[in-house]
């Protein structure tokens, strides 16, 4: 389903809920997004560590991670399937096996892989939801931790096991833990989408709300001027 077409179905739900971390609205959201657009992206990203995650819409996953201290860039794309050079239209059918994914470049002297896992899992609306997050449903929105080595695999599995044993969740954590193989960069118009589209109904009523929820709980992790959480 097209994200914008989800707006009406989501609005009735979101407008009736009052949750911690409500997002700022209107012009203030646009001003905060402008700070993201000004963030310098290093020309040489090869010296930075990488982590790759899928969890619903890559628009807000990318923006969420780019708000975190120590993260230098996020790239939206597709991973987890078999099709070569998939397009957005291909992936959204659910037939390619790919999931909307974000490749995160980070400075490992400023933030650790376990901390990125914390961001990834705590920011999810429901980490037990299978094949989706919130209103985004389908295998293309499933949750996946793509590991690059044995250490990342073990860390992710231990984190999930700890969540499952915490007693907080009635169902098992849904995220797959899968070896990283190839990441296909999404079309240009998907990159840093929220930086320039805070007035998009889906962004305003779903993405910013989800981002703000985590940012309100962990302000110490957020770059100055990058929090969408209402005070």
Residues belonging to the active site: 57
Q: Are 67 and 111 in contact (CB under 8 A)?
A: no
Tokens of 46: 């090869």
| Residues belonging to the chain | 231
Phi, psi (deg, nearest 5) at residue 77: -170, -160
Q: Which of 229, 199, 216, 226 is nearest to 62 (CA)?
A: 226
Q: Are 175 and 121 in contact (CB under 8 A)?
A: yes
């Amino acid at each position: 389903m097209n994200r914008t077409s989800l707006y009406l179905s989501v609005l009735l739900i979101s407008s009736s809920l009052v949750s911690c971390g409500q997002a700022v609205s209107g012009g203030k959201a646009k001003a905060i997004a402008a700070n993201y657009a000004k963030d310098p992206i290093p020309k040489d990203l090869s010296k930075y560590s990488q982590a790759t995650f899928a969890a619903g819409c890559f628009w807000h996953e990318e923006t969420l991670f780019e708000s975190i201290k120590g993260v230098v860039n996020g790239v939206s794309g597709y991973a987890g399937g078999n099709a070569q050079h998939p397009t957005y239209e291909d992936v959204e059918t659910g037939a390619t096996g790919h999931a909307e994914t974000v490749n995160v470049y980070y400075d490992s002297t400023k933030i650790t892989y376990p901390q990125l896992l914390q961001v990834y899992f705590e920011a999810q609306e429901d980490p037990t939801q299978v094949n989706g997050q919130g209103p985004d449903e389908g295998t293309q929105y499933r949750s996946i931790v793509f590991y690059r080595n044995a250490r990342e695999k073990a860390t992710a599995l231990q984190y999930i096991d700890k969540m499952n044993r915490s007693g907080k969740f009635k169902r098992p954590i849904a995220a797959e833990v899968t070896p990283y193989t190839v990441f296909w960069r999404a079309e240009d118009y998907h990159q840093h989408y929220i930086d320039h589209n805070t007035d998009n109904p889906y962004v305003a009523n779903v993405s910013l709300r989800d981002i703000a929820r985590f940012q309100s709980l962990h302000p110490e992790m957020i770059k100055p001027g990058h929090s969408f959480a209402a005070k």
